Copies of this chain bind each other. A is one copy, B any other.
Amino acid sequence: MRLTITGADGFVGRAIVRQLRQSGAAAELLLVDRVFAEPGPERRLAGDLTDPALIETATRDCDALLHLAALPGGAAERDPAASRAINLDVPLRLIEAMSGRRLVLAGSIAVFGAAPSGPVDDRTVPVPDSVYGTHKRMVELAFADSARRGALTGAVLRLPGIVARPPAAAGFGSAFLSEVFHAAATGRAYVVPVAPDATSWLSSLRACATNLAHALLADGVEQDPVTLPALRVRIGDLVTALARRFPGTAITHAEDLALRRAFASYPPLVTPRAAARGFAVEPDLDALVDAVLADLPSIPTQGGPSCA
């Protein structure tokens, strides 16, 4: 099976490539990104996906494509035209280019907007409130329509907050959700910018990578976007779990209401459809924290902002 992965040298991309290497599932991998930090055994294609010629090359000989590359939310809000080029036009071209084949697109819970007003389930129709969430939602609609017409197989997977991203990952307003792990693990004092009762939807990197690989290698098509399972984590509980493991670290709270509204005001979430399709997340907060800490040494200090 010939698989292409865009954003392959980003934080999530590298994790997927590791998983696919270990599973031996992929007969042939083509990795696509703007630049690659280091060489590796797979074929690599470096370039800008906003160039239609690169999309042509990236899609020419593959059976399935996983699209992770994106301009993250903070950067998208500062430059809507760049977001349109990267977060809208590129996936729309991929939907057309992958006609007759399998396409898995990394979506985002950003489609629900900050602070959804009530519990979210598989019937909730999202109303975005950001440039990033708007373009992600537009792509969901375009994919659903192509799937309805039988033009391709695959799915759009809405990714929750993935922890822990590399320290100070560029463009992510949600960086504090990852910084708190790095601070705890290195014994650095840290002020979490939201109060203990704030809540976020989180998944470990390895659960996210497992879910994306599962979707890439599966059959069939999901016309409606799949909201991936996530743990709704009370930030105070996360701090307590980290303090138990790193008793010497001083982690305190402040309250930045804009950050709280944007990234830590998430209501209850239920995702039975994802569970029925075999997507999973850690069963509880302790398992999530342990999974994140186990991967922390392998997280680069810098990484391309290639995924939601």
Contacts and interface: CB of A to CB of B under 8 A. Distances in A.
B92 A84 contact: yes
Contacts of A130: 145
Contact of A145 (B92, B134, B144): B134
Contact of A128 (B84, B96, B131, B145): B145
B134 A80 contact: no
A244 interface: no
A125 B126 CA distance: 8
Closest A-B pairs by Cβ, 4 of them: A125-B125, A134-B145, A138-B138, A134-B141
Interface of A: 80-81, 84, 92, 96, 125-131, 134, 137-138, 141-142, 144-146, 148-149
A80 B143 CA distance: 12
- Give this chain's copy count: 2
Contacts of A129: 148
Given A141-B137, A144-B134, A145-B134, A125 B128 contact: no
Contacts of A131: 145, 149
23 contacts: A80-B145, A80-B146, A80-B149, A81-B96, A84-B92, A125-B125, A125-B126, A125-B127, A128-B141, A128-B145, A129-B148, A130-B145, A131-B145, A131-B149, A134-B141, A134-B142, A134-B144, A134-B145, A137-B141, A138-B138, A138-B141, A138-B142, A141-B141
A138 to B, nearest CB: 4
Nearest to A127: B125
A129 B145 CA distance: 7
Given A134-B141, A134-B142, A137-B141, 17 more contacts: A80-B145, A80-B146, A80-B149, A81-B96, A84-B92, A125-B125, A125-B126, A125-B127, A128-B141, A128-B145, A130-B145, A131-B145, A131-B149, A134-B145, A138-B138, A138-B142, A141-B141
Contacts of A127: 125
A96 B89 CA distance: 15
A268 B110 CA distance: 32
Interface core residue of A96, A142, A146 (most chain B CB under 10 Å):
A142
Nearest to A224: B127
Contacts of A142: 134, 138
A149 B130 CA distance: 9
